[in-house]
Amino acid sequence: MAEEQGTQGRTTRSRIAHLYRRAGFGARPEELDAAAARGYRVTVDHLLDADATDPGVATMADPTFSKVFGDFMTVRRHRRHEASQMMLWWINRMIAATNPLPEKLTLFWHDHFATSLQKVGSPELMFRQNQLFRTMGAGRFEPLAQAVAKDAAMMVWLDSNSNKRESPNENFARELFELFTLGAGNYSEADVKAAARAFTGWRVSPRTQQFAFAPRLHDGDAKVLFGETGSFGGDDVVRLVTGRPECARFVTAQLWSHFARPVTPDDPLVAELTDAFTPELDVRALLRAMFLHPEFDSASTRTGLVKQPIEYVAGALRALGRRAEGVDLLRALRQLDQEPFVPPSVGGWPANGYWISTASSLGRMRFAEAVARDADLTPVASVSRRARPEAVAHLLSVDGWGATTTRALEKVADEPRSLLTLALVAPEYVLA
Amino acid sequence: MAITRRQFITGEVGAGAAGAVGVALSQSPWQARGDDKTAATTTTVPTASSKGTLVLVTLYGGNDGLDTVIPFEDARYLGARGELGNFSDGGHPDGAVIPLADGLALHPALTGLKRLWDARQLAIVRGVGYPAPNRSHFVSMDIWQSGSTDGGSTTGWLGPWLDATGTDPLRAIAVGASVPRILRGEKASATAVPLGPFALPGTPALKAAFGSMQHPDGFDAPLAAAIARSGADLLTTGRTIADVVAGRPESEAGAANLEGVADGADRPGHTGELGEQLSLVARLIKADLPTTVYSVGLGGFDTHANEKAVHAQLLGQLDASITRFFADLEGDPHREGVVMVAYSEFGRRVAANASGGTDHGAAGPVLVAGPRVKGGTFYGDEPSLVDLDDGDLKHTTDFRSVYATVLEGIVGFDARRSLGGPYPRLDLL
């Protein structure tokens, strides 16, 4: 089959490698070969395929949760153990999934609707939220937002479960507008206050740990929200806010920023992409438009994003055929300052510059050296010294190394373990 | 102008310092031998014009100023706060408030700060904020860290100082895995020193090869160059810092992340993560590093609910950490020049909400501590509890006055270059 030529004459294989880095956690050489044979568009279709059950994770058991009674330290130790197991489980899904896009998208929504185990407390509630992102994350945005608003972990996180008529709590309303749907500057303080009143009466039932509504705590009076008057409830707020044009633009910008490169909602490119998103706010349709857009494969996109630590770690383990296990991996993520389920704030994790520092250089080097210690070095050791830099590029599905990195790699070509370590911290590999 | 979360947080501009790689043989674990030596670090020594060491403590989330420096006798405060304002014996786990002056008292957990106050080494600047307060964490923290209410900047108020003072990556250190906006300039930024081990692993050949890869000019893409720049800084700073940090056990506070503030609850005087950070800063100060500014932080102050217990734990941690920090420096000549400034992105509303907490507010107090500080006094007027701005305190002191004071008094830099205009200095140094 003739190779499709992408922008700037890139080969299909190169374009698909880039696609898998962004839509997933990178592809192994054999996966790339198979996908390249199918072609770019067919690969995009496969990634967006909603119906297939993924063979890679079909036999993976979900984490289990149990109640433990005892003193404070006993309960805490138990929760910490469950949380660690859940973190490893998720990283292992990223590694094992044949189609990685659902996991990548789940990670995006986890960042977007950032909720922290640190306050929520219960690993099981965080797991339920994670599953919500997994099952609803590629569908329409409004149902997703409605479900997230009533998600127990989110309600605990942003105090929706203690928002009462006589003294409304604005936390959820504000973050819903500022961070989840519209962006700063696209609503008024009066809108926040009105929305807070609309959300009163929502609670998490202590018995079921699910959403429940307490009518006597709800402020059913008329409110003015975005210029409209009505006795709005919480569902109405989500419906109204997701229907605003700023929401479509904001969410589009967030998705492009996470999968391509950072962009603000007023960028002309966002306006173009928003066309694919509206009016249904169908995430799958937007992703298709994004992956097929010429800008997705441009030089500025290719070099415009730094891998977040979770992506970096999952990608490296995937490339080397390893699983996520043991306390050391979680310690490595902690050193790199990104643990799943523990975002630093409701704003989620920052991008790019945030992940570039002396501390992160050190963290990556330590992780790389540890991972290379146990890796199968055959693909690198079995070829001649001169061919090794190229061999490790192939192993990591990197297009190639620049001159500086090549010269550096040549210095350790005699030590395959060191060569692999260095390749894992090369700027070309650290970029997404 | 709408500021997106990513615009605020990204700090795209100025990622990484401009430090050149000064590679040299040494006996330390940092034996990275490059085959070429790019220009050695310039000899501009910023500490020549600095007059001490500034330690910035960022309290993330919006510290409740009214629950820190408490107008405990004011009927309006008591009426607005209800249970939250009840500090009568038995009503608060740590006991009664600690009266200072002017009808104000410290939260019961701040016993160490009281000792500093009595020793005239703690100043409290009241009612600090800015015009047209913004109640978004991100926008308001952006304003505090950039030193500008315009919202256009992506660099910090110490950015101009960093950009003007050469390339020594050690002149500013942020403890943790990343550098906050405060310490990012257009070209330069602080070095991030994480808690935990600070040794580059691998064989000598690997370390040398790593060193030879860290040439920003060898990479076209700006982000790739920035990654190389950070790698280069890691090598130069590592040689200096590794010995200071050597032997530090991995921070136990990291493991506590999962359970959050509750970790402090069962251990009074527990210094937690902030204590770890300040402990490292104390060691670095005593090691005579050329560092003028350190940055540390503590999160969790967004007390929308259950504030009584949560805030008490946080303030307890803050108090124990600061006390331990100055005690660690006892007997060291550098101690005299150390000034600590603790601030938050806003205070909280006067009235409590229905969840036993408070929502985002505006003005709040800033704590300034150190041997040089003219302490035991309040600066700035206490905000009125009557003349409110839609339920929030009106600021009486512009935050940039605090910055101007420390810029000129400690960092040794013209405040106007950082802040774009003159702000009245406070006479607290």
pLDDT in tens, A66-84: 988 888 788 888 999 999 9
Residue of B nearest to A77 (CA): B259
pLDDT band with cut points at 50, 70 and 90 for residue B18: very low
Do B191 and A421 count as a contact with CB atoms less than 8 A apart?
no
Question: Which pLDDT score is estimated for A9?
Answer: 63
Do B221 and A303 count as a contact with CB atoms less than 8 A apart?
yes
Q: How far is A67 from chain B (nearest CA, A)?
A: 16
Do A331 and B250 count as a contact with CB atoms less than 8 A apart?
yes
Which of A216-220, A420-424, B300-304 is predicted least confidently?
B300-304
Q: How far is CA B317 from CA A195, B56, B66, B256, in A?
A: 35, 16, 18, 14
Contact residues, chain A, for B260 at CB < 8 Å: 118-119, 121
User: How many beta carbons lie within 10 A of that of residue A260, not counting itself?
Assistant: 24
Mean pLDDT of chain A: 94
Given a contact cutoff of 8 angstroms between Cβ atoms, the answer to whether A246 and A104 are in contact is no
Do B259 and A118 count as a contact with CB atoms less than 8 A apart?
yes
pLDDT band with cut points at 50, 70 and 90 for residue B265: very low
Question: Which pLDDT score is estimated for B176?
Answer: 87
Convert B206-243 into a string of H (helix), E (strand) and C (coil): HHHHHHHHCCHHHCCCHHHHHHHHHHHHHHHHHHHHHH
Q: Hey, which residues does B106 pair with through a beta bridge?
A: B69, B98
Q: What is the mean pLDDT of residues A364-385?
A: 95
Burial B182-217 (b: 16+ CB within 10 A, else e): bbbbebbbbbbbbbbbbebbbeebbbbbbbbbbbbe
What is the helix (H) or strand (E) element at residue B164, kind and residue range? helix B159-164
**Length of chain B measured in residues:** 429
The span from the CA of B284 to the CA of B199, in Å, is 16
Do A305 and B15 count as a contact with CB atoms less than 8 A apart?
no
A75 vs B: CB within 8 A: no
Residue of B nearest to A156 (CA): B305
Contact residues, chain A, for B11 at CB < 8 Å: 350, 353-354
Question: Which pLDDT score is estimated for B285?
Answer: 95
**Residue reference for tokens 């929706």:** A160
Contact residues, chain A, for B205 at CB < 8 Å: 411-412, 414-415, 418
Residue of A nearest to B228 (CA): A427
Q: What is the pLDDT of residues A266-275, one digit of tens each?
A: 999 999 999 9
Question: Which pLDDT score is estimated for B94?
Answer: 57
Q: What is the pLDDT of residues B119-166, one digit of tens each?
A: 999 999 999 999 999 988 888 999 999 999 987 677 999 999 999 998
Q: Hey, which residues does B369 pair with through a beta bridge?
A: B122, B340
Do A404 and B213 count as a contact with CB atoms less than 8 A apart?
yes
Given a contact cutoff of 8 angstroms between Cβ atoms, the answer to whether A140 and A97 are in contact is no
Q: What is the pLDDT of residues B2-11, one digit of tens each?
A: 333 433 333 3
Expressed in angstroms, the distance from the first to the final Cα of chain A is 29
* For residue B376, pLDDT beyond 80: yes
Q: What is the mean pLDDT of residues B56-63?
A: 96
* For residue B375, pLDDT beyond 90: yes
Q: How far is CA A87 from CA A148, A277, B41, in A?
A: 20, 31, 42
Q: Are strands B377-379 and B364-369 parallel, antiparallel or unpaired?
A: unpaired
Planar angle of CA B139, B141, B144, nearest 5 degrees: 115
A244 vs B: CB within 8 A: no
Q: What percent of chain B has pLDDT over 90?
A: 64
Question: Which of B2, B209, B355 lies closest to A408 in CB terms?
Answer: B209
Hey, what are B35's tokens?
A: 């085959």
Planar angle of CA B262, B265, B268, nearest 5 degrees: 150
The span from the CA of A106 to the CA of A114, in Å, is 11
Given a contact cutoff of 8 angstroms between Cβ atoms, the answer to whether B110 and B320 are in contact is no
* For residue A251, pLDDT beyond 50: yes
Question: Which pLDDT score is estimated for B409?
Answer: 95
User: How many beta carbons lie within 10 A of that of residue A374, not counting itself?
Assistant: 10
Q: How far is CA B121 from CA A99, A145, B114, in A?
A: 61, 51, 10
Q: What is the mean pLDDT of residues A373-398?
A: 96
Q: How far is B23 from chain A (nearest CA, A)?
A: 15
Question: Which of B138, B237, B305 lies closest to A347 in CB terms?
Answer: B138
Q: What is the mean pLDDT of residues A26-32?
A: 96
* For residue B22, pLDDT beyond 80: no
Q: What is the pLDDT of residues A302-361, one digit of tens each?
A: 999 999 999 999 999 999 999 988 768 999 998 899 999 999 888 999 888 889 999 999
* For residue B32, pLDDT beyond 90: no
Q: What is the mean pLDDT of residues B234-259?
A: 61
pLDDT band with cut points at 50, 70 and 90 for residue A98: very high
Residue with the bigger pLDDT between B51 and A24: it is A24
Given a contact cutoff of 8 angstroms between Cβ atoms, the answer to whether B199 and B210 are in contact is no
Q: How far is B193 from chain A (nearest CA, A)?
A: 6
The span from the CA of A376 to the CA of A374, in Å, is 7
A170 vs B: CB within 8 A: yes
- 3 state SS of B58: strand
**Residue type (1 letter), B68:** T
Q: What is the pLDDT of residues A391-418, one digit of tens each?
A: 999 999 999 999 999 999 999 999 999 9
pLDDT band with cut points at 50, 70 and 90 for residue A8: low
Question: Which pLDDT score is estimated for B380?
Answer: 96
Contact residues, chain B, for A254 at CB < 8 Å: 6
**Residue type (1 letter), B95:** G
Planar angle of CA B314, B299, B288, nearest 5 degrees: 95
Q: Are strands B98-101 and B53-59 parallel, antiparallel or unpaired?
A: unpaired
Question: Which pLDDT score is estimated for B3?
Answer: 33
- Integer Rg of chain B from CA: 22
Q: What is the pLDDT of residues A125-181, one digit of tens each?
A: 999 999 999 999 999 999 999 999 999 999 999 989 889 998 888 999 999 999 999
Contact residues, chain A, for B197 at CB < 8 Å: 366
| Mutation site for A-interface testing, chosen from B3, B184, B258 by largest number of A Cβ within 10 Å | B258
Question: Which pLDDT score is estimated for B23?
Answer: 22
Contact residues, chain A, for B177 at CB < 8 Å: 335-337, 357, 359-360, 363
Strands annotated E in A180-315: 202-204, 211-213, 223-225, 228-230
A57 vs B: CB within 8 A: no
* For residue A110, pLDDT beyond 90: yes
* For residue B386, pLDDT beyond 50: yes
pTM, two decimals, is 0.83
H-state helical runs in A296-357: 299-302, 309-319, 327-335
Do B266 and A72 count as a contact with CB atoms less than 8 A apart?
yes
Question: Which pLDDT score is estimated for A199?
Answer: 97
Question: Which pLDDT score is estimated for B42?
Answer: 34
Q: How far is CA A150 from CA A157, A213, A247, A355, in A?
A: 11, 10, 19, 32
Is A284 buried (19+), middle (13-18) or exposed (0-12) by CB count in 10 A?
A: middle
Q: What is the pLDDT of residues B325-341, one digit of tens each?
A: 999 999 999 999 999 99
Question: Which pLDDT score is estimated for B137?
Answer: 84
* For residue B31, pLDDT beyond 70: no
The span from the CA of A360 to the CA of B6, in Å, is 19
Q: What is the pLDDT of residues B359-373, one digit of tens each?
A: 999 999 999 999 999
* For residue B260, pLDDT beyond 80: no
Residues B22/B28/B34/B40 CA torsion (nearest 10 deg): 10
The span from the CA of A110 to the CA of A133, in Å, is 7
Q: Which residues contact B292 (CB under 8 A, 6 or more apart)?
A: B46, B47, B50, B52, B53, B54, B171, B172, B410, B411, B412
Question: Which pLDDT score is estimated for A127?
Answer: 98
Q: What is the mean pLDDT of residues B374-381?
A: 97
* For residue B45, pLDDT beyond 90: no
pLDDT band with cut points at 50, 70 and 90 for residue B237: confident
Residue with the bigger pLDDT between B20 and B241: it is B241
A303 vs B: CB within 8 A: yes
Do B266 and A404 count as a contact with CB atoms less than 8 A apart?
no
Do B206 and A421 count as a contact with CB atoms less than 8 A apart?
yes
Contact residues, chain A, for B359 at CB < 8 Å: 169-171
* For residue B39, pLDDT beyond 80: no
Question: Which pLDDT score is estimated for B83?
Answer: 87
The span from the CA of A166 to the CA of A176, in Å, is 21
Strands annotated E in B107-190: 122-129, 172-175
Do B10 and A350 count as a contact with CB atoms less than 8 A apart?
yes
pLDDT band with cut points at 50, 70 and 90 for residue B257: very low
Q: How far is A300 from chain B (nearest CA, A)?
A: 8
**Length of chain A measured in residues:** 432
Give residues 354 to 413 of A whose Cβ lies within 8 Å of B.
Answer: 354-363, 365-366, 369-370, 402-405, 407-409, 411-412
Q: What is the pLDDT of residues B278-309, one digit of tens each?
A: 999 999 999 999 999 999 999 889 998 889 98
Q: Hey, which residues does B409 pair with through a beta bridge?
A: none
Give residues 16 to 45 of A whose Cβ lies within 8 Å of B.
Answer: none
Q: At what angle do helices A40-48 and A29-38 cross, to 10 degrees?
A: 110
Q: What is the pLDDT of residues B72-101, one digit of tens each?
A: 999 999 999 988 888 775 445 557 999 999
Q: What is the mean pLDDT of residues B272-277?
A: 90
